[in-house]
């Protein structure tokens, strides 16, 4: 009898431990251009999604922006001041309609967002070199990094990259950052164990050592963003040949969903 009881209790213990396994899901939705919506465990983060109509890159019309605003977000981020990533008007409107949301951006953005009604919802950091700053809001951690803009031969806007730490997932968005070995090493990105890196489409064009840089970043998956629709088909063919594990978000409202099991150690 004791033998059977021991097996019975062992089964109960195994059942108890198995019940601690749960699936955690991450959803990335393309908003427009470099804009994405990140969702996991009911938490929502927007990056570079609050910008206005644009002649070159795809963007949200007023109706779609109204829906995005109505749905809200815990945190909204913008990487830099360029008009295909950030709009004073739309950011202000979004925050006024979502008074529990936090906006994080570069210092020059906050100078433009001077409306007192949203001042308590604004955060930034005066970052230079390889400096970073962490923010926490609604159980989401945001790490902002000084990540210099790509050089086009003229003075560039201040560019922040962000790591979004949400429900056990880590997502890197580099904005228009110049992804190079010195920056990756200086910011110690390899130690962050990033699940997904969102990178602009010029990265593989300008960086012939793109595979080496991706390996140096130590990221699980690369997703390309920030391209005009006519570049989608050529990039897809290029990815199939050179980076078959990578994905892209192009035309708007495309979704990438990742899921994995994890062990819950409490409760």
Read off the pLDDT of residues 67-110 as tens digits, 9 standing for 90 and up.
Answer: 999 999 999 999 999 999 999 999 999 999 999 999 999 999 99
Of 260 and 43, more confident: 43
Alpha-carbon dihedral angle through residues 226, 177, 44, 258, given to the nearest 10 degrees: 70
By the 8 A CB rule, do 28 and 36 touch? yes
- Detail the DSSP E strand segments found in the chain: 21-32, 35-40, 43-47, 75-77, 102-104, 122-123, 132-137, 140-146, 160-166, 169-173, 194-200, 219-225, 247-248, 255-263
Average pLDDT for 175-195: 95
Domain around 192: 24-261
Q: Is residue 111 part of a domain?
A: yes
Q: Is residue 28 part of a domain?
A: yes
Q: Is residue 132 part of a domain?
A: yes
Cα dihedral 174, 178, 180, 183 sign: negative
pLDDT at 206 over 70: no
**Tokens read off for 186:** 């200086």
Average pLDDT for 166-194: 95
Q: Is residue 4 part of a domain?
A: no
CATH value at residue 126: 3.60.15.10
Q: Is residue 79 part of a domain?
A: yes
* Number of domains forming the structure of the chain: 1
Q: How many Å from the N-terminal Cα to the C-terminal Cα in the chain?
A: 32
Of 203 and 4, more confident: 203
Distance (Å, whole) CA 179 – CA 72:
31
| Separation in Å, CA 212 to CA 54, 129, 204, 245 | 34, 23, 11, 15
């Amino acid at each position: 009898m004791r033998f059977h009881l021991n097996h019975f209790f062992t089964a109960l213990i195994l059942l108890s431990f198995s019940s601690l396994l749960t699936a955690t899901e991450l959803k990335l939705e393309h908003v427009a251009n470099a804009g994405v919506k990140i969702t996991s465990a009911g938490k929502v983060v927007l990056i570079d999604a609050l910008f206005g109509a644009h002649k070159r890159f795809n963007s949200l019309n007023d109706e779609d922006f109204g829906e995005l605003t109505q749905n809200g977000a815990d945190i909204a981020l913008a990487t830099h001041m360029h008009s295909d990533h950030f709009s004073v008007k739309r950011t202000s409107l979004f925050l006024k309609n979502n008074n529990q949301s936090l906006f994080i951006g570069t210092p020059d953005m906050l100078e433009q967002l001077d409306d007192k009604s949203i001042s308590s919802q604004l955060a930034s950091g005066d970052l230079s070199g390889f400096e970073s700053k962490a923010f926490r809001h609604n159980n989401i951690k945001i790490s902002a990094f000084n990540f210099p803009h790509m050089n086009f031969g003229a003075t560039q806007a201040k560019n922040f990259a962000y790591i979004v730490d949400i429900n056990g997932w880590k997502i890197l968005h580099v904005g228009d950052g110049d992804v190079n070995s010195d920056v990756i090493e200086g910011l110690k990105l390899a130690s962050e164990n990033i699940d997904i890196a969102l990178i602009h489409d010029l990265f593989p064009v300008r960086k012939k050592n793109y595979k080496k840089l991706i390996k140096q970043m130590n990221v699980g998956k690369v997703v390309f963003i920030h391209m005009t629709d006519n570049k989608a088909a050529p990039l897809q063919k290029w990815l199939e040949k050179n980076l078959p594990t990578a994905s892209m978000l192009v035309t708007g409202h495309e979704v990438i969903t990742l899921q994995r099991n994890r062990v819950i150690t409490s409760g």
